[in-house]
Amino acid sequence: MSSAVSTEPLLHRSFREISRPRFRSSTLRPSPPPASLSCAPKSPSFRHARRRCASGSGPRRGGWGGAGAGALLRVRASSSGAAVVEALESADVLFQEAFPLQRTETAKGKIFVRLDQGKDGQNWQLTVGCTLAGKWILHWGISHVDDVGSEWDQPPAEMRPPGSIPIKDYAIETPLQKSSTSMDGDEVYEVNISIKSNSNIAAINFVLKDEESGSWYQHRGRDFKVPLMDSLQDDSNIVGSKRGFDLWPGALGQLSNILLKGEASDYKDKDASTDLEASKQEVRCLEGFYVEQPIVKVVSIRNSVNISVKICPKTAKTLVYLETDLPRDVIVHWGVCRDDSKKWEIPAAPYPPETEIFKNKALRTLLQPKEQGNGFWGSFALDEEFVGFLFVLKLKEEDVWLNCMGEDFYIPVSSTRSSSLIRQKESDSTETSGKTMETNTEVSSTAYTDDIINEIRNLVSDISSEKSRKTKTKEAQESILQEIEKLAAEAYSIFRSSLPTFSAEAVLEQEALEPPPHICSGTGTGFEILCQGFNWESNKSGRWYKELMEKASQLASLGFTVVWLPPPTDSVSPEGYMPRDLYNLNSRYGTIDELKDLVKKFHEVNIRVLGDVVLNHRCAQYQNQNGIWNIFGGRLNWDDRAVVADDPHFQGRGNKSSGDNFHAAPNIDHSQDFVRKDLKEWLHWLRSEIGYDGWRLDFVRGFWGGYVKDYLDASEPYFAVGEYWDSLSYTYGEMDHNQDAHRQRIIDWINATNGTAGAFDVTTKGILHAALERCEYWRLSDQKGKPPGVVGWWPSRAVTFVENHDTGSTQGHWRFPSGKEMQGYAYILTHPGTPAVFYDHIFSHYQSEIGSLISIRNRNKIHCRSTIKITKAERDVYAAIIDDKVAMKIGPGYYEPQSGPQKWSPVLEGRDYKVWETS
């Protein structure tokens, strides 16, 4: 039973594989992924806080047989479970499947920073530690007294603790080691850094990285800072004592300044006058200190539930046996259905022991503990009239619901149906892992067809809405209707085709003559090529808008159709990602008038403009009565009702967050009507006043995608893309080949927006990293022979990229393998999806090659839905053919496309990549 607030998911068959149980209807569904998926992170973004696993969330209002608050009625139980198990073991198996369960648990601990004077009375020791178990890494560097404009440099060799690894030329990464001591009974992980008192180091800068969860802990988008020089005490960014060592806290919030004076300090026994005189003569005056802050870490835990369905020969009833390895008392919230509508109903008694009726809509059964081993089990006897068994699981003492990738578990129990499905399952299992080209293409065409169906649904919704009828011109409505007819005809021709392979040549030729009209809010035409028009340092000149205006014509000549501009608002951080007064558009990049001129210039050269909008969080201008910064000023003068209630740092009075909290600033509660109203008006104002054509949406993991749909419906952008940044799956430090769970989380967010926005294809970037770094190009084909990222499942919503301002530039938090950037661009600029090119790469020695790849893409009309055939994916080479017009390969290995009806001519070749066109 689906949630009452959701519609039929806009899911392609290609990614239903891991979002639903194996058998959902009379059509065979592939199995979900194995439960062994690992979630150790390797893809950080310093501005982003921590991740919360997507599964294990509770039911929505109205779903799961009405599983909301309500009275429970105790009912009569069946005879002993042993008799049922005995009958189960003697019956024929109709269905048997294991489903993975993912849930999260919260671990609490402390992060501490301590300064102690050395035993010699001269040198000092800085200790950074944590009381939570994990793979903690200190990412740190120093700044010297005479440094100008640079805050990070590598420390001298004698200062580096054992196990330190240099990061480029600006930082060091040092793993925290388990300490022999404990703190309040908890294990301690720490690292010690020795500091010579006679060095010329002005400060130590660091961030703390948790490799297991992907968390990077900073302070409002910037770094921890321990100043060593009195000259730094005037820095307004430093928090705490004005004397001696000080600490600038990170994303954990305002650390309590508990300063413990060093007992061995040279000035400790001197009188006040002597101490004052010494402070005038000495460059520095050090004091020991100790600060700590509570930390909460969300840990992902994997369990499973096993289901068996059999027919009892004695009673002719269908027996459903369920067991799980969940560690605590488990309740099964269940019901049955009579047909494919999956409508929940309650079967007739008798019921299993510990069963209650819930609001006459479902049953709740407490599972029994296993006699041997960990876990719980239950059995359910059903009459022949039912065809399906529906359920979700709940941990009894917690508000934690476990379902099947966002939907109810559905188990077929009809003997006829189950038998046919089992036979089909056995038939499928005989297929080898090496799929034929025909099979690959057939799967691709099925996904293509489902994508068309999704587009038709969106178009119908768009044209039928009252708002659309009022705001769209007659010509625009007719254009949408024509697009519906074209897509429907295309889907029907695919359906009628009896060929084992699918060719969209005729359709693509038609699209090549004339790009399709606007499909739906936020998705563009499909032929976009995006330029990120800034990097992390662009704000420092104070005149970035003027500088970029001089490059507008050049970007147009290179073939770019869309440019993404930096956040325009007044911001606590100069980069713009800590917005404060949303209607104040005078920023470090330039004035509001300069921004308007820049947008106008881009429009003159036929380039659309995306604004970078930060909707998840907002910095406050005023403190409340407790000294907490949660009162906002400016035109949108919200109070603490606009702040979510479950971030303890900002004492919000709103509802709980609908996503992951960004702990460096107050997270906005988008469930509030006044908040959504104000934000929609602001987006509309940006469209009309500035001329933005669409949006790049920052940190969309922080709030529900349904709110994004609301904002996009109101602002009607030409194109929109969300930054859903998540950690890939690793096992023992090595990236897993199967990243289906990672891309599914991105797909789920896109689906929550009803497909009105795309998302950056972080999955593809991460897999390209591993493939190119390790010379493992086989990673670029998934188990179905398709691209392994979002572009392989929903290409029209995948915005592929190699680098951006977070991962590259001077931040360099997840740099693309050095020297192999052009292999990355050869991949994304020839493949489906919407490619995005980073500013630093455009204006570099790569410009000519990038321009040539864009020309090839445009010349051959490659678009976001282009068809792809992966022809080779081996250790040292990957090759593919796109739309039967372009062939490409990356990697040092050999590949030449086979000549047949088509003759291939090489058109571009570079370091470990090559591209051909049909002649």
- Phi/psi for 89 (5° steps) reads -70, -25
Residue 896 neighbours by CB distance under 10 Å:
12
pLDDT computed for residue 376 by the predictor:
93
Decide if pLDDT at 325 tops 50: yes
Average pLDDT over residues 756-778: 96
Catalytic residue list contains 698: yes
| C-alpha distances out from residue 751 to 4, 551, 568, 680, 864, Å | 16, 36, 28, 21, 17
Decide if pLDDT at 62 tops 60: no
Question: What angle (nearest 5°) sits at the alpha carbon of residue 212, between those of residues 210 and 217?
Answer: 20
Average pLDDT over residues 293-308: 83
Which amino acid is located at 372 in the chain? Q
- Phi/psi for 420 (5° steps) reads -65, -35
What kind and span of H or E run contains 853?
A: helix 847-859
In angstroms, rounded to a whole number, what is the distance separating the alpha carbons of residues 411 and 160?
58
In angstroms, rounded to a whole number, what is the distance separating the alpha carbons of residues 885 and 595?
40
First to last CA, the chain: 54
| C-alpha distances out from residue 349 to 88, 382, 413, 491, Å | 19, 9, 18, 47
Decide if pLDDT at 707 tops 70: yes
Which amino acid is located at 262 in the chain? G
What kind and span of H or E run contains 741?
A: helix 740-752
Q: β-pairing, 629-631 with 694-697?
A: unpaired
Average pLDDT over residues 25-35: 33
Torsion, CA 812, CA 815, CA 819, CA 824, rounded to 10: -140
In angstroms, rounded to a whole number, what is the distance separating the alpha carbons of residues 916 and 672?
54
pLDDT computed for residue 314 by the predictor:
81
Average pLDDT over residues 40-65: 37
Out of 698, 713, 806, 849, pick the active-site residue: 698
Decide if pLDDT at 857 tops 60: yes
Average pLDDT over residues 695-703: 95
For 522-537, what is each residue's pLDDT tens digit? Answer: 778 899 999 999 999 9
Average pLDDT over residues 450-460: 64
Average pLDDT over residues 545-565: 96
In angstroms, rounded to a whole number, what is the distance separating the alpha carbons of residues 742 and 724?
11
What kind and span of H or E run contains 324?
A: strand 318-324
In angstroms, rounded to a whole number, what is the distance separating the alpha carbons of residues 700 and 703?
6
More confident residue, 454 or 126: 126
Q: β-pairing, 165-167 with 171-175?
A: antiparallel
pTM of the model: 0.51
Average pLDDT over residues 616-634: 93
Decide if pLDDT at 60 tops 60: no
Decide if pLDDT at 141 tops 60: yes
Question: If you ran DSSP here, which 8-state letter would residue 667 be given?
Answer: B
Exposed / middle / buried, residue 368 (Cβ in 10 Å: 0-12, 13-18, 19+): middle
Residue 903 neighbours by CB distance under 10 Å:
11
Question: If you ran DSSP here, which 8-state letter would residue 77 be given?
Answer: B
Helix pair angle (762-774, 740-752), 10° resolution: 160
More confident residue, 273 or 695: 695
Average pLDDT over residues 386-406: 86
4 CB-near residues (< 8 Å, 6+ apart): 60, 61, 62, 63
Lowest pLDDT segment from 265-279, 555-569, 576-590, 597-611? 265-279
Report long-range pairs for 421-429 (Cβ below 8 Å, ≥24 apart).
421/23, 421/26, 421/28, 421/95, 422/93, 422/94, 422/95, 424/28, 425/22, 425/28, 428/28, 428/30
In angstroms, rounded to a whole number, what is the distance separating the alpha carbons of residues 456 and 626?
53
In angstroms, rounded to a whole number, what is the distance separating the alpha carbons of residues 312 and 319?
7
Lowest pLDDT segment from 104-118, 463-477, 891-905? 463-477
Residue 566 neighbours by CB distance under 10 Å:
26
What kind and span of H or E run contains 815?
A: none
Question: What angle (nearest 5°) sits at the alpha carbon of residue 878, between those of residues 873 and 879?
Answer: 105
In angstroms, rounded to a whole number, what is the distance separating the alpha carbons of residues 567 and 580?
11
Q: What DSSP line would sit under 417-456, residue for residue? A: HHHHHHHHHHHHHTS-SS--HHHHHHHHHHHHHHHHHHHH
Cis peptide before 350 (omega within 30 of 0): yes
More confident residue, 873 or 489: 873
Q: Which residues of 666-700 are buried (b: 16+ CB within 10 A; e: fewer)?
A: bbbbbbbeebbebbbebbeebbeebbbbbbbbbbb
pLDDT computed for residue 598 by the predictor:
98
For 232-289, what is each residue's pLDDT tens digit? Answer: 444 444 433 433 334 443 323 333 333 333 333 333 333 434 444 443 444 445 677 8
Question: If you ran DSSP here, which 8-state letter would residue 219 be given?
Answer: B
Measured in residues, the chain has a length of 919
pLDDT computed for residue 484 by the predictor:
66
Question: If you ran DSSP here, which 8-state letter would residue 571 be given?
Answer: B
Residue indicated by tokens 């102690």: 116
Which amino acid is located at 284 in the chain? R
Decide if pLDDT at 352 tops 80: yes
What kind and span of H or E run contains 311?
A: strand 289-311
Decide if pLDDT at 114 tops 90: no
More confident residue, 334 or 209: 334
Decide if pLDDT at 47 tops 80: no
Question: In a 3-state reduction of DSSP, which class is residue 539?
Answer: helix
In angstroms, rounded to a whole number, what is the distance separating the alpha carbons of residues 530 and 593?
24
In angstroms, rounded to a whole number, what is the distance separating the alpha carbons of residues 137 and 207?
9
Name the average pLDDT for the chain.
77
Residue 100 neighbours by CB distance under 10 Å:
20
Lowest pLDDT segment from 465-474, 662-671, 735-744? 465-474
In angstroms, rounded to a whole number, what is the distance separating the alpha carbons of residues 222 and 251?
9
Tokens coding 153: 């440099």
The sign of the torsion formed by the CA atoms of 758, 786, 443, 432 equals negative
Q: Which of 793, 668, 807, 880 is nearest to 17 (CA)?
A: 793
For 600-611, what is each residue's pLDDT tens digit? Answer: 999 999 999 999
Average pLDDT over residues 690-713: 95
In angstroms, rounded to a whole number, what is the distance separating the alpha carbons of residues 519 and 407?
28
Out of 723, 736, 821, 883, pick the active-site residue: 723
User: Are 311 and 319 within 8 A, CB to CB?
Assistant: yes
In angstroms, rounded to a whole number, what is the distance separating the alpha carbons of residues 857 and 831?
9
